Structure 1
Amino acid sequence: MVKAIRIYETGGPQVLRYEDVELPPPGPGEAQIVQKAIGVNYIDVYLRSGSYPSTLPFVPGFEGAGEVVALGEGVDEFEIGDRVAYVGPLGGYAEARNLPAAALVKLRKSFSFETGASMMLKGLTAQYLLRRTYKVKEGDRILVHAGAGGVGQLLCQWASALGAHVIATVGDAEKAKIAKEAGAEHTILYRSEDFAAAVRDITGGKLCDVVYDGVGQATFPASLDCLKPFGLFVSYGSASGKIEAFDINLLSQKGSLFVTRPSLFAHIARRKDYEKMTNDVVRAIKKGLLRLERPALYRLEDAALVHADLEARRTTGALVLVP
């Protein structure tokens, strides 16, 4: 038996139950890891609240890092004692878990477990957004919503390093400071400013090549007004609620715009892409293009508290549960 967080019904943070869960030996193709750090991401909130459907009961969490303690039949790419990190199937909020070996990557000794648990989902998300969904290049003008958040800071850092001009929306002055330290040239307080008008002023009417939006309902459709003709709107999250169906003619009216809703798990479905993307993130960290600050640490049994803080926008950067 191991301690884990399990959800029996969808709802608020109070539905997260800390309890004993049976952990069988790893099956064929699986590895069992003892987790040292567990990443918390907004997708965990979507699943807990029922915004994204899942079969009940379930243990939330897609990201973590730890040590391999047992191997199932047919696993020969890992050894007992290997340090690993992963983005994988549900089941992350637990002291230990079984995972397909294909979901694991070896964690360099120079990286802490906390770094491993906070670089995978968010780092790979930043990677596919900047390097695959839209290949950001020098001189591009980009808008990053929630620039002080976990993914937002990485987008600001990496895009700035690529030579882009980064504009970030944030909730308050303190978060504006964080986004600027991460590489944003300009910040907009979206709660008190018309961010579309501010973008037009900042760019002298030239607008942006791409908008990266993890906020959703609260920033749409105004985000479309921030794009130049043929610009790309990238919706990768719905922190304020999902974007409902809209009149597709808006895209032609606002300049033949493009809209996409990519998924990390589609991008990493093939092992070779997963490895290539992870290596790109690791290189960016080693070169200093990405600076992963020490994440905020919470105890596993306090998962409800971290969910409440996350939803109330009281957090910045990465969040990690420690068993």
Structure 2
Amino acid sequence: MTRVVELSATGSVQNLSFVSRDPGRPGPGEIRLRQFGAGVNFIDIYQRKGIYPLPMPAVLGVEGAGVVEAVGEGVIHLSVGDRVGYAGIVGGYAETRLLPAWRATKLPDDFSDALAASGLLRACTAHMLLHKVHEVTPGTTVLIHAGAGGLASIVIPWAKRLGAHIIATASTEAKAERALAHGAEKVIIGRDAAIATEVREWTDGRGVDFTIDGIGEPTFRASLEATAKFGTFASVGQAGGELTSLSAKDFGPRTSLAFYTPSVMAYLADAARYEAVVKEAIQALRAGPQTPQGPHFPLSDASAAQSSLENGTTTGTPLLVI
């Protein structure tokens, strides 16, 4: 038997229970993984609330790391004892889990368990944004919201290595300092700041080439105004509230924007792409900067970890330690 955090029905964190389940034996093409830890992401919260529906009961968590303890028939690239990480498949809030073998990537010896368990999904998201949604090249200007957050901590230095110029937002002076440490050139501070005005001033009135917005409705209009004509707007989450004012007219001739709601889960669903993206994600995480990770919680405290992320009381990626 193994201990898992099980979601009985969509709704609040009170629907999460710490229970015992039989993990089963790995079938053909599967491994059984004894986990070190699992990352806590906004995807988990959206799934818990039913915004991204799952069959119930469900075990949340879409990234983690651990040691292979059993392999199924046909698995030849992994052995018992290998240390691996994965991203993009539910079931992470567990001491032990079954996993399609193609999802498991061997980790370099110098790559920490915590970074693997709580960084791979966001690094894969960064890859999707910078190489698929909008190909970032030298001179590209980027606006990213929540500049102290877990995604920004990876996107900003990666984009900077590609030659981009980055402006970020942050709610406090302390978070602004973290965004600057990540590599942002300028940070707009405060929930009531004139974001579009400051971005336009920073870009000599043009607007940015690429906007990455994980806040949602509170920043949507400012993000539109801050993006240059024929620029790209990626809505990667709605941490601050669902987009309710969105209209096709927002992307008409006046703005001439490309608007994306990209899914990293869909991006990682293709096995051939997955292998290449995860390898690049690991290299990007190793390149740093190695900023402090998010808070650690025991697996049994998954509800507290989700609440801290949902309420904006943490920076970085919360990690469930197993």
Deviation of 1:197 (Å) = 1.6
* TM-score normalised by L of structure 1: 0.95
- Give the whole-Å Cα distance in 2 for the aligned partners of 1:251 and 1:203: 21
Cα 1:241/1:188, change in 2 over 3 Å = same
Determine the structure 2 residue equivalent to 1:301: 300
Is residue 254 of structure 2 the alignment partner of residue 242 of structure 1? no
Deviations 1:79-122 (A, max 9, x none): 01010100142110000000111111111111121111122101
Determine the structure 2 residue equivalent to 1:312: 311
Conserved? CA contact 2:217–2:245, under 8 Å: no
Farther off after superposition, 265-274 or 40-49: 265-274
- Give the whole-Å Cα distance in 2 for the aligned partners of 1:290 and 1:133: 23
- Give the whole-Å Cα distance in 2 for the aligned partners of 1:11 and 1:285: 33
Structure 1 residues 16-55: aligned runs within 5 Å = 16-55=16-55
Determine the structure 2 residue equivalent to 1:211: 211
Determine the structure 2 residue equivalent to 1:231: 231
Give the superposed CA RMSD.
1.5
Deviation of 1:279 (Å) = 1.9
Farther off after superposition, 155-164 or 125-134: 155-164
User: Gaps (5+ residues) in structure 1?
Assistant: none
2:84 maps to amino acid: V
1:194 maps to amino acid: A
Determine the structure 1 residue equivalent to 2:254: 254
Conserved? CA contact 1:28–1:73, under 8 Å: yes
Deviation of 1:253 (Å) = 4.2
Describe the SS at the equivalent of 1:221.
helix
Determine the structure 1 residue equivalent to 2:97: 97
Deviations 1:240-289 (A, max 9, x none): 23324633122224331110111112222222211211222223334x35
Is residue 133 of structure 2 the alignment partner of residue 112 of structure 1? no
- Length, aligned pairs only: 322
Conserved? CA contact 2:88–2:268, under 8 Å: no
Structure 1 residues 137-286: aligned runs within 5 Å = 137-244=137-244, 246-286=246-286
Determine the structure 2 residue equivalent to 1:12: 12
- Give the whole-Å Cα distance in 1 for the aligned partners of 2:268 and 2:60: 19
Farther off after superposition, 127-136 or 243-252: 243-252
Describe the SS at the equivalent of 2:28.
coil
Deviations 1:268-321 (A, max 9, x none): 2222211211222223334x3553533421110111111111111011112210
* TM-score normalised by L of structure 2: 0.95
Describe the SS at the equivalent of 2:155.
helix
Cα 1:190/1:257, change in 2 over 3 Å = farther
Deviations 1:180-219 (A, max 9, x none): 1101111112412121122112222121001011111221
Deviations 1:8-67 (A, max 9, x none): 122222221111122111112110000011111111111112222111111100100000
Conserved? CA contact 1:119–1:292, under 8 Å: no
Identical residues among aligned pairs (%): 39
Farther off after superposition, 113-122 or 249-258: 249-258
Conserved? CA contact 2:149–2:316, under 8 Å: yes
Farther off after superposition, 119-128 or 277-286: 277-286
Conserved? CA contact 1:285–1:292, under 8 Å: no
Structure 1 residues 59-78: aligned runs within 5 Å = 59-78=59-78
2:301 maps to amino acid: D
- Give the whole-Å Cα distance in 2 for the aligned partners of 1:311 and 1:140: 31
- Give the whole-Å Cα distance in 1 for the aligned partners of 2:190 and 2:311: 16
Determine the structure 1 residue equivalent to 2:86: 86
- Give the whole-Å Cα distance in 2 for the aligned partners of 1:67 and 1:289: 24
- Give the whole-Å Cα distance in 2 for the aligned partners of 1:60 and 1:285: 24
Conserved? CA contact 2:217–2:241, under 8 Å: yes
Farther off after superposition, 166-175 or 60-69: 166-175
- Give the whole-Å Cα distance in 1 for the aligned partners of 2:101 and 2:111: 20
Determine the structure 1 residue equivalent to 2:127: 127
Cα 1:44/1:198, change in 2 over 3 Å = same
Deviation of 1:76 (Å) = 1.4
Conserved? CA contact 1:10–1:50, under 8 Å: yes
- Give the whole-Å Cα distance in 2 for the aligned partners of 1:289 and 1:301: 30
Describe the SS at the equivalent of 2:53.
coil
